[in-house]
Structure formats: C-alpha cells, structure tokens
A and B are shown apart, each in its own frame.
Chain A
Amino acid sequence: MYMQTRGERIFSYFNYILLFVICIVTLYPLWHVAVASISDPILVFAKRGFYLWPLGKATLKGYSLVLNNPNIVSGFLNTLFYVGVGTTLSMVVTILGAYVLSRKGLYWNKVVMGLIIFYMYFQGGLIPFFLMVKNMGLMDSRWAVILPTVVNTWNLIVMRTSFTTVPDSLIESAKLDGASEWRIVWVIAVPVLQATVAVIALFYAVGRWNEWFNPSLFFTSKNKYPLQVILREILLKNSTQSMTQIGVVGQSEQESYRLLVKYCTIMVATVPILLVYPFLQRYFIHGIMIGSLKG
C-alpha cells in the first residue's frame, strides 16, 4: 500500500475543491436559465443579471404559455418526428454498413472504405450541397433534412471497429446453423454490442434533436420547423412573430413575458436530452476509445 505524503494530501483536497468549482461554473448558466424560467416575469424583465434563486414568487406561468404556443408545440412534435425517423434510419444503415465493412475478405470493402476516408478529408462544400438539394426538387421537403445526415462517418467507423471485436467463431457457427447474414447482424452481432449500439443511437438522436441549420436552410413552410429553428427565432432573432402568439394581451405585459418565455423554451428544448445521457454515460469511454483505435 502506497502511503500519501503530506504534500499529496494537500493536493488531494485542493483537487476536490477545484473540481467542485469547475462543476459550479459549468452548471451556473443552465441553473440561471432554470431559476429564471420560474421567476416573476416583471422582475426578470427588470433585472437580467446574476441571481441564484427565483426572483419573486415562483410561477409556472411561462411554461403554460409555452405549452399553449402553437409554434412551439408543432416544433416539438416535428422534432420528435425527425428524431424518431432519422435515428431509426441512421441506425439501420449504419449497423448494416458497419457490419459488412468489418467483415474480412470482401473485395469491395477496400474501395468503399477508401471512398469514406477520402470524404472525411475532402467535401464538396455548402453551396454545391445546397444546389444539389434544390435541383433534386427537395426544397421544403422533410427528406431534405433527414437524408443528407443519415450516416455520420465517425459513428460508422466506431460501429465498424466494434463489430470487428465480435468473434469470428460466433459468426461462423451461426452460419453453420443456417442463419442468413441478415439474421446474424440483428440476432447475434447487435446484441453482443448493445452498449456501443446504445451510445451511437444516443449520438444520432442528440444530433437530430439539436439540428437547426439544414432545417432553416431547406424549409420554407413554418409548420415543418423543428423546435431548434423556432427557438432560434425566439432567442436570437427576437422574432416578434413567434412571440405574438404567446397569448398575453397588452403591450407592456407582453414585453415582460418575452424573456420568461425565452427561458422556458430553452428548458423545454434542453431538459429531455439532459435526462437521457447520464444513463449511457458509463459507456462513453468505451465507445470513444474504440473509435480512436487505428483502422
């Protein structure tokens, strides 16, 4: 057993305190938004600075306005749709592709991997991509948002590397039992790699949930907007159009509710994800380490 010296004990205390401070600094911005979202709207409007506890009497008025705002509700439902369809599609394509690319002895694998690696380092760029979507007649189509980001190269490579850890003997014996390749993927390989599959699904889902640029580029009709695009209008463009529907009468009252609604919308758009990732946290190290291995 190694004995700590006095200096090391002091370091240890210092370390615990430093990490505590880092946590407080990390949490503060989100805490600020959380307490502001349940504060008295008049007081929030008057004082935007630093505070630790809700101003005035805590109220859920902001949330009821947000949940009654048709734009935010439709944005939320749209986001659920893109997350659901997008993540499912991404997982199917990524798992199938990664499984095949992880198999040895397939002649075309080298060519396909070459294509993928080259694409990692050289891309067509924003404008050719935009024009291509336009020429395909996909403007204002939900596919214009879903399809171009179906595969994430990083996720594909992580998935492929973890499939190489599935023992060949397992696959061979399944083949001898007459299982088709399709069956082997879903019944044998995927269950072995549950943890990685879950982490990759989380990454895809978070990516979809937070996606705002492509939707804002391709959607012209507002009823297709995901939550993030609505949020951008409220937070960063100070769009009054989205705000006039918050259902408050009177000009001054509306002004003071504006900030409150901002904070509540941030909460609605952020909390669902923050509730999910801690459950998969212990697999992050595993997933990322596998991806960082060469090949």
Chain B
Amino acid sequence: MKINLSNKSQLQASYFPLSSNWRSMIAKDWAKHWPLYLMLLPTVLYYLIWGYGPMYGIIIAFKEFTPRKGILGSPWAGFKYFQEFFTSPFAFRLIRNTVMINFWNLVFAFPLPIIFALLLNEVKNTFYKRTVQTITYMPYFVSLVVVCGIIVDFTASDGVLGELTKMLGGAPKNLLSDPKYFRTIYVVSELWQRLGWDSIIFLAALTGINPELYDAAIVDGAGKFKQVIYVTIPGIMPTIAILLILRVGSLMSLGFEKVILLYNPLIYETADVISSYVYRKGIVESNFSFATAVGLFNSVVNFILVILANKISAKMTEVSLW
C-alpha cells in the first residue's frame, strides 16, 4: 500500500492537535529565544546539580548505605532508620530543643525589630537616624565564627558577664557549660546580630504608607500615639503577616552552624537540635543512612509546616506567599 506522506502528516495533525501544537510552540519558542535560554543555562545547571542532585541522594535514608557499594548497590532497609530514630530517647529531646529555640526566638526576635523600626521612624533628625542604622546593621556583617568567639569570651566565668554577675553579688560561672542558659544565649546573640537588619523590611513598609492618611488622621484630631495605632500599624500589617507566616512555618527548622560552634556535651540537653544531630551522626560518625533519614524527616515536616502556614494565612488575612 502506498502511503501519501502529506496525507499522513495531515492525519497526525488532526489526531494529535495538542501534542503537535505543543511541539511547534516549543520549537518556535526555542527559535525565538535561544540566546536567552543559553544565558539561563548556568542557573538551570546550578539548580539541577546542587539543588536537585542531593535530592536523589535522599534514597539512602531507605537503604543500608555504605560508600563502597554506592547508592544503587546498597541493599534496601525500608523504614528501619526512621524507626530507630523515633524509638531512640533523643528524638523527643531534639524536636523539643529545635522548637523551643525557634519559639523563644519568635517571641523576642520577631516583635522587637518591628518596635525598633517604629521608634526609628519617629526620629526626625536624619543624621542621627542614619547613624543609629549604621551601628545597628553592623553585627549582621560580623561572621558567625567571630560572633561565637565573642560569645565564648563573654560567657566564660571570668568574662564580661561573669564580672557583671560578681558586681551584682552572684557567683560567676561558665554559662556555656550550664544547659539552663543556652536558649537565652542563642536568642540574645541572635537579637544582637539581627535587630537592626530585620527592621529594614519594616522601615521599607513604613515608607510605603500614604502620607495623606496621616494628614486625614490629624484633621480628625488624632495625636501621634493614635496615628501610630490607626495608621502606621495597619499600614505595615501585611508585611508583619507575611514574615510571621514564614517564621511559624520554619518553627522546626534551625541551622546547625551556630549550634555546633557553641555547644558541648555538657549542654546537649538543651543545645542539641535536629540539624546538629544530623551533622554529628552523619559527618562526624559516618552514620550516613541514619543521619539522612533524620534529616529527611525534618525537611518533610518543614515543608508541610510552610504549606500549612500559608494556607491558614491565606484564609485569615488574604495575604499569602503564593
């Protein structure tokens, strides 16, 4: 049988209209934009290799991974390592510590930058305002290693805080060897580093408030205080809402860098968090599959929390991230 070629392609076009349109669209898009796509290539490669490459490695959470056998060659282990983690006495402590540090951080390090921005906003002298900003942004640029070095120095029994305790009549001790103080040290140092920096976004929101609203409030006889309550705060509310969602959504995520720079076995009781445990088990003790399983549990919880926080906020405030 003879096949009429032109008929065939016509047939195909009518049979698979979508796929054919799609293909020609892609081809046209490529023909028109290929120089741009070439410029996008490094970014795409970056995310595929360094973002999605490690995602493939997550499989080892379900395997008896040994570097010698490799990811594919290692035998399956099922949920063994997840079970091991949840039945270990550490699971509860790690989750509690992670959440508690984040919780106290939320209580102090979230509202204070807002208040700080409001106070700064009332300063009319630009030179004074700019100087305060320069000084309070400074700690944000100091490296974590230096910050932790200063913390160790200040919290030593003969350090600055020790001396202050002595002046107040207390008995100085090394604060980093007592589990009672770790959360405070963490939150206070975080506040020191971020108070000024985190206020920037609120300052930005404040500059976006329509000045006519203030004029109208003045005409209505509102004093400075009432202007803050009825104009300023409602004006920055959407920003506050978005940032609060982000914070609540990351209640279970806490980086390990500061923790592993500061902690020691004496204060694991309050200082050891999920990510530092993953670091210790995986990197220090080479317990790869187990550590990956713990890390995966943490990532999944974080992911769910962000989605939930966003859903709730979309319902309640009509502000959402996406």
Contacts and interface: CB of A to CB of B under 8 A. Distances in A.
A288 B196 contact: no
B279 to A, nearest CB: 6
Contacts of A288: 200-201, 204
B282 A22 contact: no
A22 B116 contact: yes
Nearest to A89: B42
Contact of B57 (A94, A127, A181, A262): A127
Interface string B51-63: 1111111101000
Contacts of B153: 48, 262
B138 A274 contact: yes
A122 B47 contact: no
B141 A232 contact: no
B177 interface: no
Contacts of A27: 135, 138
Contacts of B292: 125, 127-128
Interface string A195-223: 00000000000100110110001000000
A278 B207 contact: no
Given A15-B122, A232-B261, A125 B145 contact: no
A16 B131 CA distance: 12
Nearest to B125: A16
Contacts of A50: 160, 163-164
A93 B42 contact: yes
Nearest to B203: A285
B136 A122 contact: no
B257 A119 contact: no
A30 B148 CA distance: 13
Nearest to B164: A50
Nearest to B278: A126
Interface residues of A, number: 90
A150 B299 CA distance: 22
Contact of B136 (A22, A117, A119, A132): A22
B53 A124 contact: yes
Interface residues of B, number: 99
A285 B207 contact: yes
B150 A284 contact: no
Interface stretch (B5-13, B28-36, B86-94, B99-107): B28-36
Contacts of B218: 2
Nearest to A230: B145
Contact of A125 (B54, B123, B150, B306): B54
B122 A236 contact: no
A177 interface: no
A277 B137 CA distance: 9
B159 A48 contact: yes
Given A125-B278, A156-B43, 19 more contacts: A11-B122, A19-B132, A23-B136, A27-B135, A47-B158, A96-B40, A97-B39, A100-B40, A101-B40, A117-B322, A119-B51, A123-B51, A128-B55, A131-B57, A212-B143, A236-B148, A274-B142, A284-B200, A285-B200
Interface of A: 2, 4-5, 7-8, 11-12, 15-16, 18-19, 22-23, 25-27, 29-30, 32-33, 47-50, 92-94, 96-97, 99-101, 103, 106-108, 112, 115-117, 119, 121-132, 134, 147-148, 150-151, 156, 180-182, 185, 206, 209-210, 212-213, 217, 228, 231-232, 235-236, 262, 266, 269-270, 273-274, 277-278, 281, 284-286, 288-289, 292, 294
27 contacts: A2-B218, A5-B223, A8-B225, A16-B128, A19-B128, A22-B136, A26-B192, A30-B142, A32-B150, A49-B160, A96-B43, A101-B43, A121-B303, A123-B54, A124-B51, A124-B53, A124-B56, A127-B278, A128-B58, A128-B292, A131-B57, A210-B144, A236-B148, A269-B143, A285-B203, A289-B204, A289-B208
The 10 closest A-B pairs by CB, nearest first: A124-B54, A128-B57, A97-B43, A49-B163, A235-B149, A210-B143, A125-B295, A289-B204, A128-B54, A107-B29
